[in-house]
Structure 1
Amino acid sequence: MISILFAVLTALSNGCASVLQRRAAMRVPDSAAMRLSLFGRLLRQKVWLAGIGLVIVAAVCQAVALATGPIAVVQPIFVIELPATLLIAGYVMRVRADRALWYGVAAVTVGLALGMASADPVGGSDTVRGAAWIPALVLTGLFEAALIGCALRTRGDVRAALLGLAAACGYALTAALMKDAMARLDDGGAAALLSSWQLYATAAAGVGALFLLQNALQAGSLVAVQPMLTLGDALISIVYGVTLFGEVLRTGWWLLPELAALALIAAGCVRLARTPLAAGTLAPPPTAR
């Protein structure tokens, strides 16, 4: 129960952060894309710094959630970040949420509940044993490189979506590394945590994912980024949970409601993408592309 509560708090904090970071990224010209100077421009904006503050809050909440629950339970809850982001954006920008938005929110919420009840993730260890990290890191690096390479050949919302998925992969990796690092506290206390390579890899992966997300938000509309970010993070995290931590999901006929839940979540995301709030209010101005 504690892990679910803190996972929800993480999603809400990230949703607020996305809105603030998107508003800041809209003011950055294309010439700063995929350059370290992007951070220099963003650091001069108070709204972006406020967003980073919420990212830190979300990271603390996520660490608590991962330390008290399986990654295959915690990370999928983050799909509520998409509807939360749009609802928060509507409140901040004083745009009334229409019926389509509420339908999308309901679809994502019901889909998440159905998926979690059907999959019922259980078991698994708190740490990754042996050299299992080696193939995981290699495959993740290749996947990230392919996404970034394709993104650099495109523009607009296509680039934003590809970089959003790359950021999702980075955040899923960050969560897996964070869970493995937090388990060191039980084994040897703070000294074991500070001496583990997973802690510093968590920081590196998190910064890399943040860099990709800022470029995704700068490249296109929020609605192009957020579905890829939330769904990608959830699905890739489940893969990490099963392959690295040995967590077990229901299979057999349970795959039917699990696929139905995934379809419902996807339909909800599409519905949200078509709302005036997402397609209009949060889209970047024409001069930003």
Structure 2
Amino acid sequence: MARRPLWWLGILGIIGGALFQFVALLTGPLALVQPVMMVELPITLLLASLLLQRPITRGSLIGTLSVTIGVIALVVAVSPSGGHSYVAPLRWMLALVATAGGVAVLVMLGRATRGGASAAALGASAAMMFALTAALMKSATGELSGGGAVAFLTTWQLYATIIAGVVAVFLLQNAYQAGSLVAAQPAITVGDALVSLVLGVLLFEEDLRLGGWLALAIVGLALIIGGAVELSRSPLVAGVVTGEESHATSEVGSDGQDEAPS
């Protein structure tokens, strides 16, 4: 992949997205920023349509609307608010151990299975790492207001963010290689948001509105999952992720199936 310019452009895109995410986490709760980022998949579809000069199918449009409405419903339902940037060391220790344990279990499950189950498990592990990356990033940004640039550059969370981000991207690449996009993407899309909601509450003591609003949140999640599955079936999105539309050279795996670099 390192010999493919498009892959490096993708990495630059991830870095650019991380900078915008940095600013968002500086001004808003983790439980709000990460769910909003689920609109990545519909935006991928629109960009693919422009770049590949292919029309968007009716099913893809329905999937786009489903994800968008689902995100709005979820954010309105839980209405994240409050919170703070400081996290006690004990809370960080518990979060890091729990996340590492969850990722390890999912990776082992991904290696023990094949096809859709493997892609879903590895996608979920990537989602957990992306959520942890966002939590670390938010904690690091909090040092800017408290101690300035020096405190920000010397905090351990900043460098842990970089390490966690690299691991998350690595797991993401493996999820796309393991099976179909339909199996991997919903786990990635929804898992990141759900784990971020949990980390926002447990680490930063952010407030979520539950009660009767929980029903709307469940409807929103159902719309997001359904829309993610529909968009994952789109040849436009699949072509961008697997590289099929760019005529990437397929590699034959040990099981005899074609695998295209993502």
What TM bracket, shorter-length normalisation? Answer: 0.7 to 0.9
Indicate yes or no: 2:110 matched with 1:139: no
Alignment-derived partner of residue 181 in structure 2: 222
Q: Which amino acid counterpart does residue 79 of structure 2 have in structure 1?
A: D
Assess, with a 3 A threshold, how the Cα gap between structure 1 residues 51 and 279 changes in structure 2: closer, same or farther: closer
Residue of 107, 114, 138 corresponding to 1:155: 114
Structure 1 residue aligned with 2:190: 231
Q: Which residue of 1 aligns with 2:40?
A: 81
Task: Note the alpha carbon deviations across 1:86-121, whole angstroms, 9 max, x for none.
Answer: 332333333321111101111111111111112111
Q: CA deviation at 1:44?
A: 1.1
How many angstroms apart in 2 are the aligned matches of 1:95 and 1:183?
Answer: 43
Q: What residue identity is the alignment partner of 1:244? A: L
- Which whole-Å deviations, capped at 9, do the CAs of 1:117-158 have from their partners, x for residues lacking one? 121111111221242101111111110000000111122333
CA shift, 1:180, in A, is 0.3
- Does 2:144 correspond to 1:173? no
Structure 1: any 5+ residue segments left out of the alignment? 1-41
Number of aligned residue pairs: 248
- Alpha-carbon RMSD across the aligned residues, in angstroms, is 1.9
Match of residue 258 from structure 2: 287
Query: Which shows bigger deviation, 240-249 or 127-136?
Result: 127-136
> Structure 1 residues 109, 282: CA separation in 2 closer, same or farther (over 3 Å shift)?
same
CA–CA separation in structure 2 for the residues paired with 1:199 and 1:53: 19
User: CA–CA distance in 1 between the matches of 2:32 and 2:140?
Assistant: 18
Partner of 2:71: 112
CA offset digits 1:32-61 (Å, max 9, x no partner) = xxxxxxxxxx11111101111111101111
Give 1:19's aligned residue: none
Structure 2 length as normaliser, TM-score? 0.88
Quote the Cα distance in structure 1 between the aligned partners of 2:78 and 2:23. 22
> What are the Cα deviations for residues 185-228 of structure 1, in whole angstroms up to 9, with x where unaligned?
11111111122111111111111111111222222333333222
Where do residues 3-82 of structure 1 align in structure 2 (5 Å cutoff)? 42-82=1-41
**Unaligned 5+ residue runs, structure 2?**
245-249, 251-256
CA distance in 2, matches of 1:193, 1:277: 40
2:231 maps to which residue? 272
SS of 2:195's equivalent in the other structure is helix
Could you say if the C-alpha distance between residues 45 and 274 of structure 1 is closer, same or farther in structure 2, counting changes exceeding 3 Å?
Answer: closer
